């Protein structure tokens, strides 16, 4: 997993907490390289959320590997269908492409929360 500065970690955790408060969903992020195929790895991370996985949204970013995955549980997917996740991922990718890892993650999480809160 990637090491963030204290401020960067606070920014990401703050975005996750805000997203959870706005939606009632569980939000999690993993920033670092995948072990094995990235989709399979991100799905395993999502499943590791246990009982919360059903209503969880996991954002996986491997900045060095230029990879991004958003995994949603069945209840979360009702609020965030694939099209909404793709739109958020495109916005994230644009910011990540500028080299702003934390800004991309924070923006993506908050976009997902905004889209989910409109449906929920």
Q: What DSSP line would sit under 28-53, residue for residue?
A: EEEES--SSSHHHHHHHHHHTTGGGG
Domain hosting 14: range is: 6-119
Q: Is residue 49 part of a domain?
A: yes
Q: Is residue 1 part of a domain?
A: no
What is the spatial distance between Cα 62 and Cα 53, in angstroms, rounded to a whole number? Answer: 21
Q: Is residue 55 part of a domain?
A: yes
Q: Is residue 113 part of a domain?
A: yes
Altogether, the residues listed in the chain come to a count of: 120
pTM for this entry? 0.92
Find the CATH number of the domain harbouring 66: 3.10.310.50
Q: Work out the average pLDDT over 3-14.
A: 93
Which of the four pLDDT bands, split at 50, 70 and 90, describes residue 12?
Answer: very high
The pLDDT of residue 64 is 84
pLDDT tens-digit readout, 28-55: 999 999 999 999 999 999 999 999 999 9
Residue 26 pairs with which residues in a beta bridge?
56
The pLDDT of residue 120 is 56
**How confident is the prediction for the chain on average, in pLDDT?**
94
How many structural domains are present in the chain?
1
Count CB-CB contacts under 10 A for residue 26: 20
- Which tokens sit at 33? 């390289």
């Amino acid at each position: 997993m990637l090491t963030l500065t204290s401020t960067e970690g606070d920014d990401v955790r703050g975005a996750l907490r805000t997203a959870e408060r706005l939606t009632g969903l569980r939000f999690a992020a993993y920033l670092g390289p995948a072990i094995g195929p990235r989709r399979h790895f991100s799905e395993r991370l999502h499943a590791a959320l246990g009982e919360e996985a059903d209503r969880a949204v996991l954002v996986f970013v491997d900045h060095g590997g230029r990879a991004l995955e958003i995994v949603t549980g069945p209840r979360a997917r009702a609020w965030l269908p694939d099209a909404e996740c793709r739109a958020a991922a495109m916005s994230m990718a644009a910011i990540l492409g500028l080299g702003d890892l934390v800004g991309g993650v924070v923006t993506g999480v908050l976009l997902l929360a905004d889209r989910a809160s409109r449906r929920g």
